[in-house]
Amino acid sequence: MAKNEERVAEAKRVLLGNYKPPAFVLSKGQGCRVEDVEGHSYLDLAAGIAVLSLGHAHEALARAVAEQATKLVHTSNLFYNERSIELASAIIDATSYDKVYFCNSGTEANEAMLKLARRWQFEHGHKERTEFVATHNSFHGRTMGALSVTGQPKYHVGMEPLIDGVSFVDYGDLDAMRAAVGAKTAAVIVEPIQAEGGIIVGSDAYLLGLREICDKAGALLIFDEVQTGYGRTGKFLCREWSGVLPDAFSLAKGIAGGFPLGAMVVNKRVADGLPPGSHASTFGGNPVACAAGLAVFEVFKKENVLHNVLDVGAHLESRVRAIAADANLPSVIEARGKGLLQGLKLAKHIDPLATIAMIREAGVLLSIAGGDVLRVSPSLLVTKAEIDEGLDVIAKVLRNAPAAVAA
């Protein structure tokens, strides 16, 4: 049996069947290239679904992790540790927000924001403000709270009852939001770009309008920047494009270049929202994960990462737009995104999974968002030459994109 086949068979025997990855096993990578166990090389434009901000095996990140691992791996939150203080301080400098809470993932960061919103309202005399307004088509994670504000019913199947008091309105519809936010609303939770929902970019007017609605109604505004934050769109936070200031936002994915780390970042107003004992995480603020986070910051500065995202992101955007506009490529109906988070929406008659498999067989890794959008979310250090190489492959495959089989 070939090595890959062997590993996949073992994976199927021992790993829970909640994922359905393609039948190949990755073993190592460098920059935007990754290899499977049989030595086949791929250009990785998925980057672990917008996680590998510095690409694979970045030397600065590897060194920081190795050094910290020889010093101190874990302290618990019974004690402070130096790396988490330094990373929180760097995040505060980069965002001009006031306090940071560390956890281990995006869903946990969102969970913390939901709890902070309820508890902050409670602490400030509004015990009745327990409800949340979220948007249809949103994705905030898989734990019960984050899942409850995720506006995609397919993720709720068989998981109910979810938490009470959540209502959903259409993304982009300020009138519907105004009508939904009321005297019982603790917070409105929104992604500046609905990423998993298919890369739907929120307009500046929409995001600013949310702030106005929340202020008038006495609700908090909380942003999920798990996928859009940390430079992905060309600014450190996606919220900076509109200038809107949510009370809290969540980070994860790119924050530690692939190490498990999440964060909730809050403004002064709500910084007292979680008093001692009200929330915690055993591994949150782990020194090795925070050392990885500090290495990401170091590289951001040294290699001018945000400039690269703006420059290469503009190039990527022009390439995906050209594909969408190409009359010879009817398999694509729209291109959308910001910076290095771009999507190609496939026509109804195209099979997205078969298309992405063909692109993979041609040597390029992508992921799917919203069921029918090819997502390009490479390392933030990707070059224009790598984008051109990948987009040439994608365009070629799209010329013969496989049709969906009628149900």
- Residues near ligand PLP (CB under 6 A) are 105-107, 110, 139-141, 191, 195-196, 224, 226-227, 252
Is the CB of 131 or the CB of 196 nearer to ligand PLP? 196
Is the CB of 141 or the CB of 378 nearer to ligand PLP? 141
In our burial notation (b when 16+ CB lie closer than 10 A, e otherwise), range 162-175 reads ebeebbbbebbebe
Is the CB of 68 or the CB of 227 nearer to ligand PLP? 227
Helix locations, 280-383, DSSP H: 287-302, 305-325, 352-361
Closest CA to 43 of 371, 320, 359, 396: 359
Shortest Cβ distance from residue 109 to ligand PLP (Å)? 8
Shortest Cβ distance from residue 141 to ligand PLP (Å)? 4
Shortest Cβ distance from residue 227 to ligand PLP (Å)? 4
Shortest Cβ distance from residue 105 to ligand PLP (Å)? 4
Shortest Cβ distance from residue 402 to ligand PLP (Å)? 26
DSSP 3-state percent helix, strand, coil across the chain (nearest 5): 40, 20, 40
Query: What whole-number distance in Å separates Cα of residue 356 and Cα of residue 224?
Result: 27
Contacts for 406 with CB less than 8 Å, ≥ 6 apart: none
Shortest Cβ distance from residue 355 to ligand PLP (Å)? 21
Residue with the CB atom nearest ligand PLP in the bound state:
106
Are 225 and 50 in contact by the 8 Å Cβ rule? The answer is no
Is the CB of 40 or the CB of 142 nearer to ligand PLP? 142
Shortest Cβ distance from residue 260 to ligand PLP (Å)? 8
CA distances from 100 to 76, 88, 105, 349 (A): 16, 6, 14, 46
Is the CB of 207 or the CB of 350 nearer to ligand PLP? 207
Is the CB of 141 or the CB of 198 nearer to ligand PLP? 141
Closest CA to 94 of 272, 288, 298, 261: 298
CA distances from 138 to 134, 149, 194 (A): 8, 8, 6
CA distances from 334 to 124, 337, 349, 385 (A): 46, 10, 14, 23
Is the CB of 263 or the CB of 294 nearer to ligand PLP? 263
Tokens, residue 349: 């008659």
Is the CB of 107 or the CB of 135 nearer to ligand PLP? 107
Is the CB of 87 or the CB of 341 nearer to ligand PLP? 341
Q: Say how many C-beta atoms besides its own lie within 10 A of residue 161's C-beta.
A: 8
The one-character DSSP state at 56 is B
Query: What whole-number distance in Å separates Cα of residue 50 and Cα of residue 14?
Result: 27
Shortest Cβ distance from residue 385 to ligand PLP (Å)? 28
Are 24 and 34 in contact by the 8 Å Cβ rule? The answer is no
Shortest Cβ distance from residue 262 to ligand PLP (Å)? 6
